[in-house]
Amino acid sequence: MHDRIESLAARIGAAARVTILTGAGVSAASGVPTFRGRDGLWRQHRAEDLATPQAFRRDPALVWEWYAWRRETIGGCRPNAAHEIIARWSQRSGCTVVTQNVDDLHLRAGTRNLVRLHGSIWEQTCWNACPEGAVAWRDERQPLPEVPPRCVHCGSLARPAIVWFGESLRHEDLAAAMTATACDVFLTVGTSSVVYPAAGLVHEARARGAFTAEINLEATGASDGVDVAIQGGAEVVLPLIDAAIR
């Protein structure tokens, strides 16, 4: 593992453009539950029951209870060493961070040039798509005074400003992520690489000539397709890489 960390550090140190894609594993050491691992959120709840527009239409109170519980959990979590190293690297010009996480821990760590592909658990939009409510507003109140919450503009139902299964990602976010696949080094960190289009970004980057690396506790479907796969916790491996960058 030492050699792989040294060679990846050399690549990052020499790169003009670095892109980092993150998933739930980056926030695991902060205490945010992952989705598909042991104790992952999807083990207790079926995604299709909770994270789809159909589920929300069927039972908005149930979906909002799940999000209210996750907001409470995430509200008590702090960025860990992985978020902090990524935030520091993001200060370099040419670095883009693309996250699938909705917890905003990258933002709280001070990450620049951040693309939040799946939105934020701290933001809401109007379910009825009233014109003002189409623009997300932030609500960090803990606990939410009313579940389900209401649109601050028209009073109808609000929804989490999160991309659910079967919904399109925001065009500008997907475009920014695709642009960032034109890079020298592409790191995929703490993601099971099963949810598209995010899971396709590392392959796109490699096809465009990037050196690609994965950091994950275990092998994923992306492991065989990257130049180097390092098994370990992001909060352990990223500080080791950082220390090895000259």
Residues of this chain that bind ligand BV8 (CB under 6 A): 23-25, 28-29, 34-37, 40, 51, 100-102, 118, 162-168, 190-192, 194-197, 216-218, 220, 233-235
Cα(149)–Cα(15) distance, rounded to whole angstroms? 45
Between 36 and 112, CB nearer to ligand BV8: 36
Beta 119-126 vs 137-138: how paired, if at all?
Answer: antiparallel
Cα(84)–Cα(111) distance, rounded to whole angstroms? 8
Cα(98)–Cα(188) distance, rounded to whole angstroms? 9
Give Cα 23 distance to the centre of its chain.
Answer: 5
Minimum distance, C-beta of residue 202 to ligand BV8, in the bound complex (Å): 12
Q: What angle do CA 234, 237, 239 make, to 5 degrees?
A: 100
Q: Which of 2, 45, 83, 118 is catalytic?
A: 118
Minimum distance, C-beta of residue 166 to ligand BV8, in the bound complex (Å): 5
Between 123 and 235, CB nearer to ligand BV8: 235
Query: Which residues on adjacent β-strands are paired with residue 211?
Result: 185
Between 164 and 186, CB nearer to ligand BV8: 164
Between 64 and 211, CB nearer to ligand BV8: 64
Cα(157)–Cα(128) distance, rounded to whole angstroms? 7
Minimum distance, C-beta of residue 73 to ligand BV8, in the bound complex (Å): 12
Residue nearest ligand BV8 by beta-carbon distance: 25
Nearest CA among 95, 78, 65 for reference residue 27: 78
Query: Does the annotation count 118 as an active-site position?
Result: yes
The answer to whether the CB of 85 falls within 8 A of the CB of 6 is no
Minimum distance, C-beta of residue 209 to ligand BV8, in the bound complex (Å): 23
- The residues carrying an active-site annotation are 118
